[in-house]
Amino acid sequence: MQPIIDMHRHTPWPRDPDTGTPAAIAAEMASDDIVATMLFITGTEDTAIYTGSGKRRFLLSPMFPCPALSATDRWCFTDSRTIFPDLAWLEEQLATKKLHGIGELAFSYAAIDPRSPEMQPYWDLASRYDVPAFVHTGRGPGPGLGPRRHAGCCPDYREEYGNPALLEPILQRHPKLRVSLQHAGFDFVDETVALMRAYPHVYVDMSVLNSVGPEGLHTASLKRFIDEGFADRIMLGSDDLPYAAIKARLEAVDFLTPGQRRGIYYDNAARFLRLDRKTIATDHP
Ligand SMILES: [Zn+2]
C-alpha cells in the first residue's frame, strides 16, 4: 500500500450527516489509503468535532480571512462574524496543538492583501508557534465556481491577491516559515517558482488542477516544477475532489520516477509536516 497525505481538505458546510461527519470523512480516506489530511475548519467548535477517526488523522487549521457570510454559506472560519479569528483563541489552540497551521488563507475572496497590517499578527503567530501557513494562490476560482457559487460570495474578490509574489515581504521577515502555495500551476507559475527558489520551506499543492483542471496545463506545470528541481516540494491536495481522478492523473504522468511519485503521495508532506519516524513507520505497514 502507498500511504497518502492529503494536504488540502475542508470540513463540509452545511454539515451533511451522511458525508460530513468525521467518520464519513475517515471512511472515504480509508478507501483511498489516505492516512492523514490537513482539514481546514470553519468554526471554534470544529476542534472538538474533528479529532480524527480510527486510524485516520486530521490536522486542523482555520480558513480565513473570511468575508461576511450568510448562515448557510459558512465555507470559511467565522466566530462572532469576524473576518479574522480571535487572536487569543488562535494562540491557545496552537499552544495546545489543537490546531496545526493557519489557512487556507483566502486573501482573494476577502479582498485582503497578505501584506496588510491586519495580517501581521497572524504571520507572527504562525512563525512563533512554528506551524505552516496554507495560502490560496492563483487567479481563480472564476465567478460561480468554488465558494464563489454561493450567493453573496464575494463581491470584493481580487484575483491579484492570489499572486504568491505578495508573500515575499512576509518571508523576508519570517524566512523559516513553512508555506504551502495552494492550487499551484494554474497561473502565476513564474512567481511561484521564484518564491520557491528563494525560500526552501515553500512547498506547493496542485489541488483542483491535478484532477478536474486541464490535463495539459497540469502536466506542463508539474514538469516545470520538476525541471526547476522542486520534485521534493510538491504535495498532494484534493480540495475535496475525488481521489480516483487525482491518482489516475499522477499514475499517467510518464516523466515521474517512482521516487518522485512517492514524494508527491506522502514523503514531501511528511517532511513539510515534520512527521516523526514512528508516525512514518506506522503509516507504512
Ligand atoms: Zn481549498
- The vertex-267 CA angle with 245 and 129, nearest 5°, equals 110
Ligand 1 centroid, distance to 130 Cα (angstroms): 22
Query: What's the pLDDT score for residue 70?
Result: 63
231 DSSP 8-state letter: G
User: What protein residues have CB closer than 5 angstroms to ion ligand 1?
Assistant: 104, 239
Query: What's the pLDDT score for residue 71?
Result: 61
What is the radius of gyration, based on Cα positions, of the chain? 17
- First-to-final CA distance of the chain: 8
d(C-alpha 29, C-alpha 215), whole Å? 24
Ligand 1 centroid, distance to 9 Cα (angstroms): 6
Ligand 1 centroid, distance to 199 Cα (angstroms): 23
* pTM passes above 0.75: yes
Ligand 1 centroid, distance to 108 Cα (angstroms): 12
Ligand 1 centroid, distance to 154 Cα (angstroms): 15
Ligand 1 centroid, distance to 72 Cα (angstroms): 18
Query: What's the pLDDT score for residue 16?
Result: 73
Ligand 1 centroid, distance to 256 Cα (angstroms): 25
221 forms bridges with which residues in the sheet?
Answer: none
For 4-283, CATH number out of 3.30.70.100, 3.40.50.2300, 2.40.50.100, 3.20.20.140 equals 3.20.20.140
d(C-alpha 218, C-alpha 210), whole Å? 6
CA neighbours within 13 Å on the CB side: how many for 56?
23
Ligand 1 centroid, distance to 80 Cα (angstroms): 22
Residue ranges for the chain with pLDDT beneath 70: 70-72, 81
| Residue-range domain boundaries for the chain | 4-283
What cell numbers appear for 48 in the block?
472538538
Ligand 1 centroid, distance to 183 Cα (angstroms): 8
- The vertex-99 CA angle with 25 and 269, nearest 5°, equals 65
Ligand 1 centroid, distance to 48 Cα (angstroms): 21
Query: What's the pLDDT score for residue 54?
Result: 81
Residue for cell digits 502507498?
A: 2
Ligand 1 centroid, distance to 8 Cα (angstroms): 6
Instruction: With beta carbons less than 8 A apart as the criterion, state whether 84 and 112 touch.
Output: no
Compute how many other C-beta atoms are within 10 angstroms of the C-beta atom of residue 152.
11
**Exposure string for 105-123, b = 16+ CB within 10 A, e = fewer:** bbbbbbebebeeeebeebb
